[in-house]
Amino acid sequence: MLLRILLMTFVGICLSFDSNNRLRWAAINKPDNITANQLCQQQYRHRHIDSMMQDVATNHNFNGVMLIAENGKPIYKKAFGYFRKDTLKPFDTTQVMQLASVSKPFTAMAVLLLIEKGQLQFDDEIAKWFPKIKHKGITIRHLLQHTSGLPDYINDNYLFIKFAKNKGRGIVWTNNDLIRVLETQKIHLRFKTGKRFSYSNTGYALLASIVEKVSKKSFPKFMKENIFLPLGMVHTFVYQPSMTDIENIREDYREGIMGAKGIYSTVEDMLKFDQALYSKKLLKTSTLDSAFVQGMTSENEKFDYGFGWRLRSSIVGDRIVYHRGLWEDANPMFIRFVECNRTIISLHHPTNSDHWNFIESIQQILNESETVCADF
């Protein structure tokens, strides 16, 4: 269904630009501070991206806010649908929302900051901070790249919920509760450490706790002082159970565990983080580049995950670093086309759409605008 919508969109592109009268009129009557080519691209992009997004919102129940940027400047930003359907509260473009697993790039950044300062090493074993955890040989690198073998406290919930009183109802675990279970219960590894890639939220919860132990600051405070405030991300924070005014909080014993999830932000704040990854505001280039390199198992098999980032190539060969998430009615995505400095950020509820279809289509619209408007 979505593919049919996209094909119809591209048909619309051809039809609308067969008669360029309105665009040419706008180019002649353009503002002084913009070229005719730039104005043409702006109109082309906004018209066809908006047409596509309207179709996705209508046909695929997209409720959220979408931001598309190029070279750090938003070229499309719009909210669709309802943040809360029970109260008919609409989404707006400043909505603060749970990032779910899109929190992982931020947690990885905190670890890299400590590594660059010499306070951590990639090959440090977690036994240094958690000597009671029975599994030996697990390193910081294993946690960052999901090769530790540790079961996932979210996706392998059946292994952990039996240790929560009243099966998790009415209580909220913190990272310390998760660590206590790993230390005192027989939680077996899913495979020998390092042997393969297998996504584990548990590893990122341990990383957040290691950041606390090394920095001697709470994870929320460390993130605020070292990442959020330096980048001007004034609407971004780490959720803590003491916060009682957060909307859409799930009644789940795992809610208070930080690191793998739990960061809240806006699309504009996330764009600030995105742009910092093209500079040396937080890290040296060499340290930052290491986050975007394919991981490798002990069996010498490469996999498409770096340090807190998934890795992918687009249909036209552009390198993409990204992350997506799903938790607490939040299904965000953070997509970075790094060669051309294009960014797609979406904070939305779960949908029935194929995200990669419209991500690739957005990229194609942006590329086509350069060709269509070349003569202006």
Percent of the chain's residues with pLDDT above 90: 70
pLDDT per residue over 260-298, tens digit each? Answer: 999 999 999 999 999 999 999 999 999 999 999 999 999
Q: What are the C-alpha distances in Å from 148 to residues 50, 140, 145, 202, 313?
A: 43, 9, 8, 10, 26
The reply to whether 323 and 366 lie within a common domain is no
CA angle, corner 68, sides to 227 and 277, nearest 5?
30
What CA–CA distance (Å, rounded) separates 289 from 193?
A: 25
Q: Residue 366 and residue 98: Cα distance in Å, rounded? A: 28
In a domain, 301, yes or no: yes
- Cα separation, 37 vs 42, in Å, equals 9
CB–CB of 206/126 below 8 Å?
yes
How many structural domains are present in the chain? 2
Same domain, 318 and 357: no
Residue 7 covered by a domain: yes
Are the beta carbons of 60 and 10 closer than 8 angstroms?
no
How does pLDDT run across 117-152, given as a tens digit for each residue?
999 999 999 999 999 999 999 999 999 999 999 999
Residue span of the structural domain in which 215 resides? 100-348
Is 267 inside a domain boundary?
yes
* Residue with the larger pLDDT of the pair 354 and 24: 354
- Are 137 and 125 spatial neighbours (Cβ–Cβ below 8 Å)? yes
Could you report the per-residue pLDDT of 49-80, keeping only the tens digit for each? 999 999 989 888 899 999 999 999 999 999 99
* Residue 374 pLDDT level (bands cut at 50, 70, 90): confident
Contacts of 179 (CB under 8 A, 6+ apart): 130, 133, 206, 209
- Alpha-carbon gap, residue 251 to 358, rounded angstroms: 33
Q: Is residue 274 domain-shared with residue 376, that is, in the same domain? A: no
Q: CA-CA distances (angstroms) from residue 117 to 124, 224, 298, 309, 369?
A: 14, 18, 27, 21, 44
> Do 273 and 371 fall within a single domain?
no
Residues 240 and 278 in one domain: yes
Q: What angle do CA 185, 191, 193 make, to 5 degrees?
A: 90
